[in-house]
Structure 1
Amino acid sequence: MMTDELRKILDFFNTIGINWKFQSLQKAGFLPGVQIENGCLRIAPEQLANPGDLLHEAGHIAIMPTASRHFLQDDVRISAGQGAAEEMAAIAWSWAALMALQLPPEFLFHPDGYKGSSAAYITAFCEQGGFGHPLLSWYGLCLPAGQADGYPKMQCWLRA
């Protein structure tokens, strides 16, 4: 089902250059209703349990260098060697996207996600500045947090 939030996210993806397409998903991925294939989000709206998951998966795509983005498949750890640092950067990116879209923290950090740590993540980002954003600065996506126009404001959304 196409909700206002889903439409808002897809419009955002179109604006920043995240490739996506609606497609039935025959096999289950990490998150219901969304998979990454060749650096593109495949979305099955009827299977999508939490539209905020799209922001997280888009974060994995956005932090990959342009030349390597097409290597991303459903399990980004295996397909692109993304580890804990990239996971934190994808979470920080998704928070910045959430702020740009003016959606509530629970939209991204919903109770069904983040291995039971959603409440802790909300606290970390709302009260303590979050984590992972130094990598976004290092990638050239934003200025450091605490600077004028610094994180969570992004200078660009996709890594070159």
Structure 2
Amino acid sequence: MDQTSPIAMDCPHAQKAVSFLREIGLSVEISPGAKGFVNHIRIVRGTLRVDPRCPVSRLLHESGHLAVTPSRYREWMDGNLYTSLNRMLDDPDFLAAEPDSPLYRAVIQASDPEVTAWSYAAGVALGIPPEKIIQNREYDGAGKAIRLALMGHSYVGINGLAFAGFCVRRKSAYNPLPEYPELAFWLQP
């Protein structure tokens, strides 16, 4: 099966997201039965393996892990992402980086709150209803509260995206970056 050809996803929003993710440069393979940390999706060496039953909320969140990870480490993202993140933190190039260097800032801002903020921004850009981007029952039942915080620009992950250079929290004449939920770029360089 050609993994780059359009394959019907059960969720029409997920179909739209697969096309978007491929357009921005992420590797997405349709893989019936895929299962990782969450059902219906697995990250394998920087590639998203997605079961056609995967809801858009999970697809956007898991792809966010790859999107906020610096490109030099993206293929390190595999299976247990905590292990992958720790591997980045142990990298001699990261350890030698100055705290204000782009590499250091990008690695430090590659955690779950930034992933959540990125996934919400991607869903908004795709025109997906907010309650489909983050479902109420997700995040141990805190999905609605997190979604409302994102909509109100008061979620901690927005600060991380801004610090990593994706956007600004509030528009200002002194900074040309777009205001969240718009992003200046989709993948951390």
TM-score, normalised relative to structure 1: 0.87
Question: What's 1:146 paired with?
Answer: 170
Aligned counterparts of 1:129 and 1:40: Cα–Cα separation in 2? 31
Q: CA deviation digits over 1:45-81, x for unaligned, max 9?
A: 14x2x22111001110011111100000122112223
Report the more deviating stretch, 7-16 or 104-113.
Answer: 104-113
Question: What's 2:98 paired with?
Answer: none
Aligned counterparts of 2:18 and 2:32: Cα–Cα separation in 1? 17
Contact 1:20 1:41 in 2 (8 A): yes
Is 2:188 the counterpart of 1:155?
Answer: no
Is 2:89 the counterpart of 1:89?
Answer: no
Aligned counterparts of 1:84 and 1:152: Cα–Cα separation in 2? 16
Question: What's 2:129 paired with?
Answer: 104
Aligned counterparts of 1:10 and 1:94: Cα–Cα separation in 2? 13
Aligned counterparts of 1:127 and 1:65: Cα–Cα separation in 2? 27
**Residues 116-135 of structure 1: pairs in structure 2 closer than 5 A:** 116-135=141-160
Is 2:31 the counterpart of 1:23?
Answer: yes
Shift of 1:127: 3.0
Contact 1:89 1:136 in 2 (8 A): yes
TM-score, normalised relative to structure 2: 0.74
Contact 1:85 1:132 in 2 (8 A): no
Change (3 A) 1:73 1:112: farther
Larger radius of gyration: 2
Shift of 1:131: 2.4
Question: Can you give the 5+ residue segments of structure 1 that lack an aligned partner in the other structure?
Answer: none
Question: What's 2:74 paired with?
Answer: 69
Q: CA deviation digits over 1:26-46, x for unaligned, max 9?
A: 6x4221110101011001114
Shift of 1:135: 1.6
Aligned counterparts of 2:12 and 2:69: Cα–Cα separation in 1? 28
Shift of 1:9: 0.4
Change (3 A) 1:13 1:52: same
Aligned counterparts of 2:18 and 2:114: Cα–Cα separation in 1? 21
Aligned counterparts of 1:36 and 1:85: Cα–Cα separation in 2? 15
Q: CA deviation digits over 1:4-42, x for unaligned, max 9?
A: 21221011112211111011346x422111010101100
Aligned counterparts of 2:165 and 2:152: Cα–Cα separation in 1? 24
Question: What's 1:80 paired with?
Answer: 85
